[in-house]
Amino acid sequence: MAIILGLESSCDETAAAIVRSDRTILAHALAGQEDHHRAFGGVVPEIAARAHAELMTPLVQAALADAGMTLDDIDAIAATAGPGLIGGVMVGLVTAKALAMATGKPLIAVNHLEGHALSPRLVDADLAFPYLLLLVSGGHCQLLRVNGVGDYNRLATTIDDAVGEAFDKTAKILGLGFPGGPAVERAAANGNAGAVPLPRPLKGADEPHFSFAGLKSAVLRAHETGQYRVEDIAASFQQAVVDCLLDRLRYSVDRMESLPALVVAGGVAANEAIRTMLADFATARGMRFVAPPLWLCTDNGAMIAWAGAERFAAGLTDGLDFVARPRWPLDPNAAPARGAGVKA
Ligand code: KG4
Ligand code: ZN
């Protein structure tokens, strides 16, 4: 059995975790950086990179201490090598390279999106390939066919904003603070989802992709009228997101061979309304629904260690010359989607 140390630093969470290939999470240490970025209403890349540099080594030490281990017990060192804020990615990757070089253990360069994509398999031993994955995070909104480790077909992506980005911008417009997703969900719990007329971008469109930019603009316009309660706008926005995701999911599922499981991953997968809609959809289509626990949805080290474990088991390790990648699509062969701000 292999024991993998995994490091994550692609956005505003610094994390280190130790996972064994039998799915045992031996330790996971995480430090959020909300306090560093709150005053700016969003993640400031340079501040994030500096915070990662300060936090990473103590977190690795904490994870080893929690597991009662030393580096001698580790079989390979995995780190997010992209995509993400490049300064932060470099901190985690360089730390992993230094540890790999000092110990002579292999390095595994993990695609952050693969970390999210494989995370459900860390908690569900029965989840076999292939499965249908809705990946919804701060930077991405994609529907993927997960064929195996390192093997993905991108079925759909957003042509403008990512869904988490739409949550974050809505929170900012409504003055709900940062980070935005959980704040919008909390406000929505006290609101009327039918109170504010908002669009459902691309609903019914004869293409598979997602779009959220128009929804965000509509939230701004609704808020500026001064007619609506913040809670009602939040609830109406969340309902619009649920409706769009469902419509787009239905479009793709109607046009592909049936897969045994529908899986959701990424930070937005922490949203209860979205999880409920997906669970209902899966049931209606005779698919099993798998969603990681909330802490495993948002960025963390365990998902990187687990992706490292999967890659290690497949014999996939990387050289110390691996270069951090700001952009790194899971499916390099996907046809480009229209739209200026396409998130690969
Ligand atoms: O996967 P993640 O932690 O980082 C990225 O790789 O982007 O996702 C962060 C995103 C943020 O946009 C955050 O607002 C959103 O996930 N998020 C949520 C919730 N919790 C986090 N969005 C909606 N509802 C939530 N409960
Ligand atoms: Zn993420």
- Ligand 1 atom nearest to 139, measured from its CA: 7
Going by alpha carbons, the residue nearest to atom 16 of ligand 1 is 267
Q: Compute, in angstroms, the gap from residue 180 CA to the centroid of ligand 2.
A: 15
Ligand 1 pocket test: pick from 13, 141, 268 the residue with the most ligand atoms within 8 Å of its Cβ. Answer: 268
Which of 218, 235, 116 lies closest to 183, judged by CA?
A: 235
Q: Compute, in angstroms, the gap from residue 163 CA to the centroid of ligand 1.
A: 9
Going by alpha carbons, the residue nearest to atom 2 of ligand 1 is 267
Ligand 1 pocket test: pick from 167, 170, 215, 239 the residue with the most ligand atoms within 8 Å of its Cβ. Answer: 167
- Ligand 1 atom nearest to 297, measured from its CA: 1
Ion ligand 2, residue ranges at CB < 5 A: 137, 299
Task: Please report the pLDDT score of residue 100 as a whole number.
Answer: 98
Residue 242, phi then psi, degrees to nearest 5: -60, -45
Q: What is the pLDDT of the chain when averaged over all its residues?
A: 95
Q: Compute, in angstroms, the gap from residue 137 CA to the centroid of ligand 1.
A: 5
Whole-angstrom distance, CA of residue 141 vs CA of residue 177: 22
- Ligand 1 atom nearest to 116, measured from its CA: 1
Going by alpha carbons, the residue nearest to atom 19 of ligand 1 is 181
Q: Give the single-character DSSP code of 270.
A: G
Q: Compute, in angstroms, the gap from residue 140 CA to the centroid of ligand 2.
A: 9
Q: Compute, in angstroms, the gap from residue 175 CA to the centroid of ligand 2.
A: 24
How many of the other CB atoms lie within 10 Å of CB of 212? Answer: 27
C-alpha separations of 111 from 46, 276, 304, 319, 324 in Å: 21, 28, 8, 15, 10
Q: Compute, in angstroms, the gap from residue 114 CA to the centroid of ligand 2.
A: 10
Whole-angstrom distance, CA of residue 93 vs CA of residue 82: 9
The yes-or-no verdict on residue 38 having pLDDT over 80 is: yes
- Ligand 1 site, CB within 6 A: 11, 137-139, 164, 167-168, 179-182, 185, 266-268, 270-271, 298-299
How does pLDDT run across 105-148, given as a tens digit for each residue? 999 999 999 999 999 999 999 999 999 999 999 999 999 999 99
Share of the chain above pLDDT 90, in %: 90
How does pLDDT run across 246-294, given as a tens digit for each residue? 999 999 999 999 999 999 999 999 999 999 999 999 999 999 999 999 9
| Partners of residue 31 on adjacent β-strands | 14
Q: Compute, in angstroms, the gap from residue 53 CA to the centroid of ligand 2.
A: 19
Helices (H), 225-270: 230-254
SS3 label, residue 14: strand
- Ligand 1 atom nearest to 140, measured from its CA: 7
Task: Please report the pLDDT score of residue 46 as a whole number.
Answer: 86
Kindly give, in sequence order, each residue whose CB lies less than 8 Å from that of residue 303, ignoring residues fewer than 6 positions away: 6, 8, 115, 116, 118, 119, 122, 296
Q: Compute, in angstroms, the gap from residue 69 CA to the centroid of ligand 1.
A: 32
* Lowest-confidence region among 73-82, 148-157, 172-181: 172-181
If pLDDT is split at 50, 70 and 90, which confidence band does 199 have? Answer: very high
